[in-house]
Amino acid sequence: MPIKLAANAYGKNAVNLSRVLRHAGHHEFRQVSVSVQLTGDFEAAHTVGDNALILPTDTQKNTVYALAREYFTGPIEEFGLVLARHFVARNPQVSKARIEIVEHLYQRMSFDGQAHPHAFVGGGSEKRRAAVELRADGTTTVWAGLKGLLLLKTADSGFVGYPKDEYTVLPETTDRILATECEAEWEYTAADLDFETQYQQIRTNLLRTFAGHQSLSVQHTLYAIGEEILKSNDAVKEVSLVMPNKHHIPFNLEPFGQTNTNEVFVATDAPFGYITGTVVRG
Q: Which residues are catalytic?
A: 12, 57, 247
Window 230-269: contact mask with its own copies (x via CB under 8 A): xx------x-x---xx--x--x-x-xxxx-xxxxxxxxxx
Site for its own copies in 23-62 (CB under 8 A): 27, 29, 31, 33, 35, 37, 42, 45-59, 61-62
- 219 contributes a contact to its own copies by CB under 8 A: yes
For its own copies, give the closer residue by CB, 200 or 268.
268
Tell the burial category of 77 from Cβ atoms under 10 Å away from its Cβ (0-12, 13-18, 19+).
buried
Nearest to 15 by CA among 43, 38, 35, 40: 35
Q: Which of 113, 137, 166, 190 binds its own copies (CB under 8 A)?
A: 166
Q: Which of 41, 89, 118, 139 binds its own copies (CB under 8 A)?
A: 118
CA distance 196 to 199: 5
| CB contact at 8 A, 96 and 136 | yes
Characterize 168-195 residue by residue with b for buried, 16 or more Cβ atoms within 10 angstroms of its Cβ, and e for exposed. Answer: eeeeeeeebbbbbbbbbbbbbeebebeb
Q: Which of 130, 144, 146, 149 binds its own copies (CB under 8 A)?
A: 149
Nearest to 218 by CA among 172, 271, 180: 180
Site for its own copies in 170-199 (CB under 8 A): 170, 177, 181
Q: Which of 74, 136, 223, 232 binds its own copies (CB under 8 A)?
A: 223
CA distance 250 to 210: 22
Q: Which of 2, 25, 113, 138 binds its own copies (CB under 8 A)?
A: 2
Nearest to 275 by CA among 222, 229, 230: 222
For its own copies, give the closer residue by CB, 109 or 194.
109
Site for its own copies in 126-145 (CB under 8 A): 126
